[in-house]
Structure 1
Amino acid sequence: MPHQGEILQEAIKNSGISITRIVDELGITRPTIYRKFKEDTLDYNFVKRVGDIIGHNFSEDFTDLQQGVLPLVSPSVTQPVLQGVMPKQLVSQSSDTDPIKQLLALQTKYIALLEAYNELLLKVYGPK
């Protein structure tokens, strides 16, 4: 069974949209998207953004088992980034004692922070 990165890669390939266009719209580099293709699990927001670019709904591509476990289909863990800065309440520790949920929440926050940093770099230095 293919993992999420492989499913993403196949959907992009089938869309006919070039990798160059996708990475330009995402504001990432080609090596970054190729690393994403190798990952077993992907961030929900990242996959949603790619789906918006290529016009593909990825929620139909993942099994029920994956949907119950992976962050791709649990957007309730994601927190919005406001003005590029996370509100103080989002930084506090979750009262949830499940370590997997805590790890997924931290992963989501970390990715959101990296994306905000990337957007800031693009605003300051502009696209390549």
Structure 2
Amino acid sequence: MIHAGQLIERTLHEQGRTVTWFATQLCCTRPNVYKIFKKENIDIHLLWRISYILGHDFFRDLSDSISTDNNTTSVSK
């Protein structure tokens, strides 16, 4: 299972963006961004906004993880 907050944090850092920049784009505070990073599950609307801001399809990442999990499960049966 993918930890959505960690994936967002990793993507943000890979893009060389700061937490301050991200907080400004999300119209929230830096502490709220750090709370997002700690969340395993994220509201779909918030995830859409984050995907748009970072130009990254987090929905695809999550979908790919389901496919991978299902393949692993069927192989081990």
Task: Give 1:57 deviation, angstroms.
Answer: 0.8
Would you identify which runs of 4 or more consecutive aligned residues in structure 1 move more than 4 Å?
none
Summarize the alignment of residues 14-29 of structure 1 with structure 2, pairs less than 5 Å apart: 14-29=14-29
* RMSD after superposition: 1.6
Separation in 1 of the partners of 2:56 and 2:23?
Answer: 16
Separation in 1 of the partners of 2:15 and 2:37?
Answer: 15
In structure 2, runs of 5+ residues without a counterpart are: 68-77
Percent identical: 29
Q: 1:45 corresponds to which residue?
A: 45
Task: Give 1:4 deviation, angstroms.
Answer: 1.1
Task: Give 1:45 deviation, angstroms.
Answer: 1.3
Structure 1 length-normalised TM: 0.46
Larger proportion of helix: 2
**Aligned residue pair count:** 65
Structure 2 length-normalised TM: 0.72
Separation in 2 of the partners of 1:33 and 1:25?
Answer: 11
Q: 2:31 corresponds to which residue?
A: 31
One-letter amino acid of the structure 2 residue matched with residue 29 of structure 1 = T
The structure whose Rg is larger is 1
One-letter amino acid of the structure 2 residue matched with residue 48 of structure 1 = W
